[in-house]
Structure 1
Amino acid sequence: MDQAQSGNQSGSEITEEEVTDRVLTLPNVISFIRLCMVPVYLVLLLCGHDVAATAVFAVAALTDFVDGQIARRTHTVSKLGQLLDPAVDRILMVTGVLGVFLVGRVPLWVIVLVVARDVLLLVGGWWLISRYQIRVPVIYPGKFATTFLFVGFAGLLLNWPLVPGLGVCDLPWLPGFTDAAVSWGIWFVYAGLVLAIGTTVYYCVTALKMLRAARAQAGE
């Protein structure tokens, strides 16, 4: 999970998680290993090793949960981790959807939507932190969106088993809604996209409110 999300709620009390300046922490090492797995996944997929590529992608996605849990439970949430963990998530997400697109298992509009959202979150988040020291708190629906997309892409990578389409239209850019059989993963992708759009709107609205408050305080 995202190391940027700090604090545990117990009853009505919320305790802030201490953030350290340490670089060499176990969660950061795990995030770096996950980053190194990205090109491995892409090479395996493009070489036709679907099962191996799916396994690498699944392990990389799973460590997204592991490093965040370790960081909070061992009190090693770091400033580097707050930047590295979500950045690796975005890189893995973009590479995942790009790989599925390159092998022809997802339509172009899905990759455009996922990449555009991730670029917006990366660039916007970097600008807010560097310019105003504003960090929008991560919400759980956003994590669910990421999880659904990761599961969906893994299903599309494996490409088995195939399930019948709904047959409600004949638009080839809407797999799953035509008569053609599709991987079960496409439905997780759709669910993830719906949540992703909703949480992105929330992040943008929240960031705008925090930005106005910061500018007002600075007298801009």
Structure 2
Amino acid sequence: MWTVPNILSFIRLALVPVFLWLIVEGEDIAALLVLVVSSATDFLDGYLARRLNQITRLGQLLDPAADRLYIFAALIGLAWRDLVPWWIVLVVVGRDVFLLGLGVVLANFGFGPLPVHQLGKVATFCLFYALPMIMLGEAFPAVAWWSQPVGWAFGLWGAFLYWWAGIIYAIETVRVIRLPRGTAPVQSDTLEL
């Protein structure tokens, strides 16, 4: 449990409330710094897990949980300050609630989580790129003329792809639960959808 990658993931999780507080308080530069540290440790924990052969089930749960929490914290903090509309928060959170429901359905049929789809990864990347770009424009108004449009382009595209991936997961869920009994359950390397 106490591997270097897992410790980095715990640090990322511990910084989520700090990040949210900084955004809500309008401390944009400090919030961006926390986000950069989080992104660096996100890359580093995955790299070290593979390099040191320390991939654990706990790490596979912590990493996507931290990713989701940072996305939610950024969206909620920015919406709280009226920098993004609340409907974008509902779109992104609604998709994750939808996937949670799919996970319950799969579990009720004796299946594990679905394998990660590349579209889900691309959507998460877009959102991870969009929110800091929007924050960058708030922290440094001189760059807002390009960071805001770029951030919004990635954000809207990411939200669309997020739901597109969700629909693919729904179709795959229907396909999997219709498999004849005795078929091996779907296994996943990670829970990130």
* Fold equivalence (TM over 0.5): yes
Distance 1:139 1:62, change over 3 A: farther
Which residue of 155, 174, 191 corresponds with 2:157? Answer: 191
Change (3 A) 1:109 1:87: same
| Distance verdict in 2 for CA 1:116–1:140, change over 3 Å | same
Corresponding position of 2:34? 56
- State the 1:129 CA deviation: 5.1
Counterpart in the other structure of 1:134? 112
Residue from 114, 117, 123 that aligns with 2:92:
114
Matched position secondary structure for 1:77: coil
1:89 corresponds to which of 67, 84, 87: 67
User: Higher mean Cα deviation, 204-213 or 47-56?
Assistant: 204-213
Per the TM alignment, residue 131 of structure 1 is displaced from its structure 2 partner at its CA by: 6.4
**Stretch of structure 1 that moved more, 202-211 or 90-99:** 202-211
Could you tell me how far 1:182 is from its partner in structure 2?
4.5
Say what the alpha-carbon RMSD is for the aligned residues. 2.4
- 2:82 alignment partner, one of 84, 104, 122: 104
Q: Which has the higher contact order (CA 8 A, sep 6+)?
A: 2
Structure 1 residue 128: deviation in Å? Answer: 3.5
Preserved contact between residue 87 and residue 122 of structure 1 (Cα < 8 Å): no
Tell me, in whole angstroms, the C-alpha distance in 2 between the residues paired with 1:77 and 1:199: 25
**Shift in Å at residue 158 of structure 1?**
2.2
**Displacement of 1:133:** 4.2
Scaled by the length of structure 2, the TM-score of the pair is 0.80
Q: How does 1:161-200 map to 2 (within 5 A)?
A: 161-163=143-145, 182-200=148-166
Q: Which residue of 2 aligns with 1:79?
A: 57
TM-score by length of 1: 0.71
Larger radius of gyration: 1
Partner of 1:216: 181
5+ long unaligned stretches in structure 2: 184-193
Sequence identity of aligned pairs in percent?
36
Aligned to 1:162, the other structure's residue is in SS state helix
Q: Is the 8 A contact 1:151 1:188 kept in 2?
A: yes
CA apart distance, 1:183 = 4.8
Asked whether the equivalents of residues 148 and 192 of structure 1 are also in contact (C-alpha less than 8 Å), the reply is yes
Q: CA deviation at 1:71?
A: 1.8
Greater strand share, 1 or 2?
1
Residues 127-186 of structure 1: per-residue CA shift (max 9 Å, x gap) = 63586241211123322211211111111122242238xxxxxxxxxxxxxxxx945311
